[in-house]
Chains A and B, each alone.
Chain A
């Protein structure tokens, strides 16, 4: 491991209020409840396609996204229900998307792997591993060129993406162009069923990233406060005009890769050991022990999350589907008509339906 504390950045003020602790715990619980319900709904065939659950990794999304401002951009992978939810996409819009409904956050075109939301600058939901990293560089470049001071782009990806060429191209471009992008590697140790050791010649991921001459370090991704603290520190630098950074969050998914995965490649003892470090129960226990919250508070969080999820399920169930007549919408966006000169040949073309029988 490269370092536990990150590079030499002035320690930003890390809020340690009860309010923040409560929010982080409640956020993780919201993801957990939502996704456990998703697994049931998959069994009921309400949700189809691929479904990748984030259960076990909630501390990363909660810790990072709690540091973001509305002007920031977020890009995530196909394991992104939790990121979308915490970024502010409603549970109803996410659930409706997974139900394939018109009211889904992608109008039923995306499904579980492609959640998008313009209002919260949530740029997906990207299912080509590594493919969205160059987009993050471009968003950061646009922020710089348009003078959107203080804006940052946060890009989540798994450790599997680090074997892709696009990871290396994106890191190099980001560092060369000094763009305000935080690369958040969610190292859950398995790219589908392939372990880190069998896919990377160098398993110290921060060391790999650091070779692109940017600050890179490793953080315990099972501890939401560690995640929050590291992100706060990184974003303070980025917002002040600093260049890109890389954080490896060491985490673990408790469920299989997807609903199709029989999970034959992991030692059950290993899974059990990581479950002992469940980011929700460990954090709740810590907060209870220091008197920040009591059992009643925790119960109330679970109850509120269940209520939110059940309302989303009911709404998704009742929502209309897109009319097939709209199938070809959004392939290309209509172009505003050209002012005057259309160039040679433009006048002698009729409407397509008039020419083709």
Chain B
């Protein structure tokens, strides 16, 4: 076991990209301002200087065009990593992702797979308002043919990418914009992680909290508060939004008998609803209470800090919901 280092989520992702570029000639990065500028969130900073303009390739503001070009390059034998600035902008490429990347393998009777990796940011918290802050990863998790992952820690930011690149299918990586400066331990030699598996971030036996992306650290903070109130919360980091690792969740809920799903995205029709339904279907006879949800309020994300904070789940909301669920709270 090698020594762990600490790095930020941003540095971890950059290290993963650097390794991919250095070890596989088929890998290249493209997206808006990924080269000289270094990426909107500075994730690709320095890579253009190291690997050149062909492999760290700036694109015009043509999300559908360059995602489609990524699909074509993947069909042609490359391993493109396409950066889309935010999930809101990914909607301009929804046609390519949903109508083409997700369908080609099936529509061609198994002949043409699309080994494409798309990286994009999700989530609120930086006062970027309603066209840069939404959490739409659940929409993509709806689509058969895509794989959707959301690293919540620097270690996952470091080690999900090689797994995604080794996958013969299109994989979308959602990086929460609020996590880039988070620092955490990263094992430099741990190797690729299984991106289809959820992981228990904190064991407990009083209830199971399921979260992903930016909500994981909030759920862990809530678990600290709950511990002080005498409630033992188990926190599961979903990691993969499609496919869903329901076995890991079910195993936990069957021990704790209570489940709380935390989703930064909207409640109606959200991934939280799918999780709540799946848990209810599978664990109904072992549940001591209805599955509970904490989700984003049904409003476009506003600019003003206090309004933005109120629009998405906070630690106190999670704690309160957990206390209500366990019968300790109001």
Chain A residues within 8 Å of B112, by CB: 116, 118, 123
Segment with Cβ contacts to B, from A1-9, A11-19, A126-134: A126-134
Decide if B317 is an interface residue (CB 8 Å cutoff).
no
Query: Which of A169, A172, A332: most chain B CB closer than 10 A?
Result: A332
Distance between Cα atoms of A184 and B144 in the complex (Å)? 32
State which residues 66-86 of B face A: CB under 8 Å.
66-78, 80
Among A41-49, A54-62, A135-143, A294-302, the one that faces the other chain is A135-143
Is B111 a contact partner of A345 (Cβ separation < 8 A)?
A: no
Of A107, A128, A341, which one neighbours B192 at CB under 8 angstroms? A341
Q: How many B residues face the partner with a CB closer than 8 A?
A: 62
B68–A134 touching, CB < 8 Å = yes
Interface residues on A, range: 35 or more
Residues in chain A near residue B73, CB distance under 8 A: 138-139, 141-142, 145
Interface assignment of B282: CB less than 8 Å from any CB of chain A: yes
Using Cβ atoms and an 8 Å threshold, which residues of chain A touch B70?
138
Whether A138 and B74, one on each chain, are in contact in the complex, defined by CB atoms closer than 8 angstroms, is yes
**8 A Cβ contacts from B97-115 to A:** 99-100, 104-113
Decide: B110 and A128 in contact? CB cutoff 8 A: no
Separation of A143 and B56 alpha carbons in the complex (Å): 17
Which residue of A is nearest B191, CB measured?
A: A341
Asked if A330 and B109 sit within 8 Å, CB to CB, the answer is: yes
A126 CA to B103 CA, complexed, in Å = 11
Quick one: which of B67, B72, B200 has the most chain A CB within 10 A?
A: B72
Q: How far is the CB of A49 from chain B (nearest CB, A)?
A: 13
The reply to whether the CB of A203 lies closer than 8 angstroms to some CB of chain B is no
Chain B contacts of A330 at CB under 8 A?
105-106, 108-110
Q: Report the Cα distance A136→B113, complex, angstroms.
A: 16
A325 CB–B CB distance under 8 Å: no
B residues neighboring A (CB under 8 Å)? 26, 28, 54, 59-60, 62, 64-78, 80, 95-96, 99-100, 104-113, 144-145, 147, 156, 159, 163, 166-169, 190-194, 197-200, 245-248, 250-251, 282
Beyond contacts A330-B108, A333-B168, A338-B194: 15 other A-B pairs, Cβ-Cβ < 8 A, are A106-B111, A116-B107, A116-B111, A131-B96, A138-B80, A139-B76, A142-B76, A169-B64, A331-B105, A331-B145, A332-B144, A333-B113, A335-B166, A338-B166, A343-B197
Q: CB within 8 Å of B: which residues of A?
A: 73, 104-110, 114, 116-118, 123-126, 128, 131-143, 145-146, 165-166, 169-170, 172-173, 176, 329-333, 335-336, 338-346, 348-352, 354-357
15 sample A-B contacts, Cβ–Cβ < 8 Å, listed by A number: A109-B106, A116-B111, A124-B104, A134-B69, A141-B78, A142-B74, A142-B78, A145-B28, A173-B60, A330-B108, A332-B168, A338-B166, A343-B156, A343-B193, A356-B282
